[in-house]
A and B are shown apart, each in its own frame.
Chain A
């Protein structure tokens, strides 16, 4: 039995650095023979023996069903490449900057020959750190490119500040919380990280982003400051949304445990019935959380600190997103300890990812019925799915990945001594986290 030829799909908006990465891959001494299928009207043409220009022949296999929209040119060109004895080690497909990567990926699910001979290694999305914010606001394709990705390269990091990068990273993760994310300049990443992803592996995905299945919080950031007595000013360089919640809590220490305790207090403070603190309020060292009330149009908020000492501050968004500074009467305060949290909000993105994890085994019949119904009713909005299931009566792990309504189930091998549990991820539009969670749990045996 011959092994399947790995295929990597390279996507990303115009100017994101796809051609730079392609050139790097083709010129680096990695010892692999890589065929590149590039757009006929690429942003920058690459003249290389192994580069094949393709025009996008997108067609519908089945009366307009979105999941059967595939790329005819890829079937033809890859079919031709497979007829050569000097086989390639890898095929790399570049999508156009304005393309929805869905049809490219679906080609490998729908066409029998492609399924038999090729293995979809990964979808890599290049993101232009400087301009992607604008594209995400205006282009559905830019959002989809991130949503479909297994790996995201946050490129051109030299053109953005660390604060902007943190904010952008948070926004990208809100869309796709599963993909591996790397920061880079000039698309300079280890080639192995692009070509050697080795197919879908949910365990590894979770390992890459340990926060993916973490509990969610109403805030993204928290830190403890050593605050002197006197006036403390929170000053933003970007106008904050008056509804944004920020909480100040006098605490007793500056270590991890103190921050963890404060985090739990802050959870309550983010509830609607928390005590409001308008600008100019006095903060006393009594452990009470103060929910800052921001004035519409105001760029700063002040409070009076009675007792000097540790002060925990939790913000709904990263301070860098607003250019938020913590100022005493004479200097800028820096946090002694800080942490970021997986937010329960998604920056108003309609495309988000939902992760579900449950101990125990699933009932195969219930799971099948649930997935069938879900994909039938919501398949258009679900861009990608990935899951590892423990099925009652089946000693092996059951793995699937999917695109829209298409599912590709595989046997994941024995569980061994690992606890039998199920993990699944949906990335898509207008996903209802609670509904997905509750309905999946009905599939448990």
Chain B
């Protein structure tokens, strides 16, 4: 057991340690704040994105790290091609770079200058989208030709996400809410008009729900099955972390939301989804939860927070958290490997670490 004390609030809790279960296997320091970590689809590589400086790719087998060119003005986002070995990086210089880690070649496209948001591949990897200012550029990755510019947004596009299965559907978040688009069409086919500034957007693994968090303490969902919006409020702070528990069974998916110190997990299956449901509430963090992730088809929820703690949870059992790691700065991202056996996390000071399950649980 570990005794954890929040130095500012003098709160003290006792936490089980998961050090034996998930021992540290590797760690390194990025040149700056760890913005994101992304596993390659086969789990062989981990891409790490600092806020400034060179992004890196860690080879899980050899522990070798390959550095990639930095984006001037700051890095923005990274995305692995869903089937291949291409990693896209995008930054405030407006340059979208596609790095082929097999051939060790890269190509790049200069997009217009503006506040850059996320870049993301569609489900089959035939398209990549990048957000610049109020526009999303939909690009053919082979020719680097911009096929469509989706610019019917009230303000800067703060996030974008592709449908998990349908390769021609895209969701965008901006001031006023979220919009869902079919590539080739000029107008969105659905929208969440919540009137506030949407920050994060994500699509449920079954494609039913588009979810946005925003600058107010609320979350908006759009049920594409019923073509109806849903609104969850009552959080103490805005929601900074979202994760989906996936799987093929009828009692999935579940939606985990991290706001203040509490993680709430909502059922998003059945006729009504979270409507009228009582969420699971997970208590243990001492400061705002900033990162969440479920492994594919796995029950273990990993969380990170401003308290520097990385926790492991089994949300459907009321066992409380197990402590994986304790860092001196905020945990900014947590990512399970595709096989669900390895967890990577990054911190505000730029430290990244990999913990691997020592035995099957």
A interface residues, Cβ below 8 angstroms from B: 40, 49, 52-57, 59-62, 70, 72-73, 75-77, 80, 83-86, 111-112
Contact = CB atoms under 8 A, between A and B. Distances in A.
Interface stretch (B95-103, B118-126, B194-202, B337-345): B194-202
Interface stretch (B20-28, B30-38, B264-272): B30-38
A81 to B, nearest CB: 9
B239 to A, nearest CB: 13
B323 interface: no
A57 B156 contact: yes
B74 A84 contact: yes
Query: A-B pairs with the 10 shortest C-beta distances?
Result: A72-B197, A57-B175, A83-B33, A85-B32, A83-B51, A57-B155, A59-B196, A72-B215, A55-B155, A57-B197
B100 to A, nearest CB: 28
B156 A83 contact: no
B155 A61 contact: no
Most buried by A among B133, B154, B197, B332: B197
B212 interface: no
Contact of B196 (A60, A83, A85, A86): A60
A285 B162 CA distance: 91
A83 B196 CA distance: 24
A76 B215 CA distance: 9
B196 to A, nearest CB: 5
B348 A73 contact: no
B52 A85 contact: yes
A75 B313 CA distance: 31
Contacts of A80: 51, 74
B175 A52 contact: no
Contact of B115 (A49, A54, A86, A112): A54
Contacts of A52: 115
Nearest to A1: B8
A72 B196 contact: yes
Most chain A beta-carbon contacts within 10 A, residue among B175, B199, B215:
B215
Contacts of B175: 55, 57, 59, 72-73
A84 B33 contact: yes
B155 A86 contact: no
B148 interface: no
Residue among A56, A73, A111 having the largest count of chain B Cβ atoms under 10 Å: A73
10 contacts: A53-B133, A54-B115, A55-B133, A55-B175, A56-B155, A72-B197, A76-B158, A83-B32, A83-B35, A85-B33
B17 interface: no
Nearest to A111: B215
Given A72-B175, A73-B155, A53 B114 contact: yes
Contacts of A62: 216
A55 B156 contact: yes
B49 to A, nearest CB: 11
Contacts of A56: 155
A60 B215 contact: no
A420 B332 CA distance: 47
Nearest to B72: A49
Contact of B199 (A49, A76, A86): A76
B215 A85 contact: no
Interface of B: 31-33, 35, 51-52, 72-74, 114-115, 133-134, 154-156, 158, 175, 195-197, 199, 214-216, 237, 332, 348, 350
A73 B157 CA distance: 10
Contacts, number: 75
Contacts of A77: 115
A204 B237 CA distance: 36
Contacts of A111: 215
B215 A84 contact: no
Residue among A56, A77, A85 with max Cβ neighbours from chain B (10 Å): A85
A107 to B, nearest CB: 10
Nearest to B52: A84
A54 B156 CA distance: 8
A61 B216 contact: yes
A83 to B, nearest CB: 4
A55 B51 CA distance: 22
A83 B74 CA distance: 10
Given A55-B156, A83-B33, 14 more contacts: A49-B73, A59-B195, A59-B215, A61-B215, A72-B214, A76-B199, A76-B215, A80-B74, A83-B35, A84-B33, A84-B74, A85-B31, A85-B52, A86-B52
Nearest to B73: A49
Contacts of B33: 83-85
A112 B217 CA distance: 11
A84 B156 CA distance: 21
A15 B275 CA distance: 52
Nearest to B330: A83
A72 B175 CA distance: 8
A53 B73 contact: no
B351 to A, nearest CB: 12
A111 B214 CA distance: 12
B32 A84 contact: yes
B197 A85 contact: no
Nearest to B332: A83
Given A55-B134, A55-B156, A76-B158, A84 B197 contact: no
A382 to B, nearest CB: 24
Nearest to B53: A85
Contacts of A85: 31-33, 51-52, 350
Residue from A60, A76, A86 whose CB has the most chain B CB atoms within 10 Å: A76
Contacts of B215: 59, 61, 70, 72, 75-76, 111
Contacts of A84: 32-33, 51-52, 74
B302 to A, nearest CB: 21
A386 to B, nearest CB: 27
A171 B332 CA distance: 51
B186 to A, nearest CB: 21
* Of listed B33, B134, B156, residue having the most chain A CB within 10 A: B156
A60 B114 CA distance: 25
B234 to A, nearest CB: 13
A49 B94 CA distance: 13
A60 B51 contact: no
